[in-house]
Amino acid sequence: MSFDDLGLIPELLSATKRSGYTEPTPIQRLAIPPALSGRDILACAQTGTGKTATFALPLLQHLDRRAGNKPRLRGLILTPTRELAAQIDASLATYGENLDLWHTVIFGGVSDKAQIAELRRGVDILVATPGRLLDLMGRGYVPLDDIELFVLDEADRMLDMGFLPDVRRITRELPRDRQTLFFSATMPPEIRRLAEGLLDDPAVLAVAPVSSTVDLVEQRVFFVEKARKRKLLADLLHDPDVKHTLVFSRTKHGANRIVRDLAKAGIDAVAIHGNKSQSARTRALEAFRSGQLSVLVATDIAARGIDVDGVTHVINFDLPNVPETYVHRIGRTARAGASGVAWSFCANEERPHLASIETLIDKRLSPRATG
């Protein structure tokens, strides 16, 4: 099956082809046709499966058919992090380059003046994070009365970050007569309940079992004392085969300390986390994406917007205490059909976390000697 078989209009087909996409991914094949027909969608899809195009293309096509002379806010995409919001907005620009539709992105951490100016000029599609959207809604800049298509992306991460109350406040303001596309990598009970309240007879789709991990990722665990983790990390990163690496720390302070320790070992790395300014996070991510930076150290919240092909290794310096987070983390490698490696450091006190992860993914991680 090709994109030509999905029912997309010529303007979108030519944009996807210019972007280098020839064959739709499994989630795109499953979700785009019912979404184009106007059905609500409940999709269980991990990061790296092509889900941004899965909702962006139907959204653009739906609104293009109703495009008038003056932009009017008819499409809303709600996503948990600044990086992901900016990335989705860039994808809308790519896919919608042949359409007469206006879109913009709003998120916190930066001045709202330019964002308000864009909203005043008028947009057809808004990409937003919950906090900034509620702020500007409360000040009268974002009326939701005319929303025709609503996308909730990364719903399970909304739960992890404590955003579900904000999401509910926002969705209460949406028109009842709308189409909703709902995406989540995992489906814990709270997310299922949220979906049931938002969706009307949805097409329920999944490209893999809810808790499965990417088949192309080689997963290993290093049993190591906590005090020896920093030396082990430096030793692994000195290996020439370890080329483009994302290191996960549980805390902001820990991420900064890892970067300092790697610098002492002669390894250039940058940390991204919630205490970094948006401009600093954007610069670090661009350097990592372009290959100028080979090691990026991130907390889970900051890493949520990282969509970079070519990550060869993911290293869990700290094991996550929420097992679903492990699935999100290792999904940052083995993207676009490539293989990848995920290494996890496990100190004695982290063994319960490892057990929970292995139960979730229904797989024992192979131990690897630390040398």
Residues 341, 237, single domain; the answer is: yes
Q: Residue 82 domain-assigned?
A: yes
The b-or-e profile of 126-147 (16+ CB within 10 A means b, else e) is bbbbbebbbebbeeebbebeeb
Q: Residue 212 domain-assigned?
A: no
Residues 313, 234, single domain; the answer is: yes
Q: Residue 134 domain-assigned?
A: yes
Residues 63, 189, single domain; the answer is: yes
Q: Residue 211 domain-assigned?
A: no
Residues 194, 228, single domain; the answer is: no
pTM: 0.68
Cα separation, 203 vs 30, in Å, equals: 9
What does the pLDDT read at residue 290? 86
Residues 302, 190, single domain; the answer is: no
Q: Residue 132 domain-assigned?
A: yes
What does the pLDDT read at residue 28? 92
Domain boundary among 206, 239, 274: 206
Q: Residue 69 domain-assigned?
A: yes
Q: Residue 310 domain-assigned?
A: yes
Beta bridge partners of 203: 41
Q: Angle 62-65-68 (CA atoms, 0-180°, nearest 5)?
A: 120
Residues 153, 279, single domain; the answer is: no
Residues 192, 236, single domain; the answer is: no
Q: Which long-range contacts (CB under 8 A, 24 or more apart) does 48-52 make?
A: 48/214, 48/307, 48/331, 48/332, 48/334, 48/335, 48/336, 49/25, 49/207, 50/24, 50/25, 51/27, 51/153, 51/183, 52/87, 52/88, 52/91, 52/153, 52/307
Residues 241, 135, single domain; the answer is: no
Q: Residue 284 domain-assigned?
A: yes
Residues 106, 148, single domain; the answer is: yes
Nearest to 322 by CA among 352, 353, 301: 353
Residue 113: which domain range?
A: 3-206
pLDDT in tens, the chain (371 residues): 788 899 999 999 999 988 878 788 888 999 999 999 999 999 988 766 788 999 999 999 999 865 556 899 999 999 998 888 998 999 999 999 999 899 999 999 889 999 999 999 999 999 999 999 999 999 999 999 999 999 999 998 898 888 999 999 999 999 999 999 999 988 888 999 999 999 999 999 987 654 555 667 889 999 999 999 999 999 999 998 898 999 999 999 999 999 999 999 999 999 988 778 778 888 888 888 888 999 999 988 766 656 677 788 999 999 998 787 888 788 778 665 567 899 999 999 999 999 998 888 888 898 987 65
Cα separation, 24 vs 106, in Å, equals: 29
Cα separation, 247 vs 343, in Å, equals: 10
Residues 19, 144, single domain; the answer is: yes
Domain boundary among 153, 172, 206: 206
- CATH number of the CATH domain containing 300: 3.40.50.300
Domain boundary among 158, 187, 206: 206
Residues 109, 188, single domain; the answer is: yes
Residues 197, 245, single domain; the answer is: no
The structural domain count of the chain equals 2
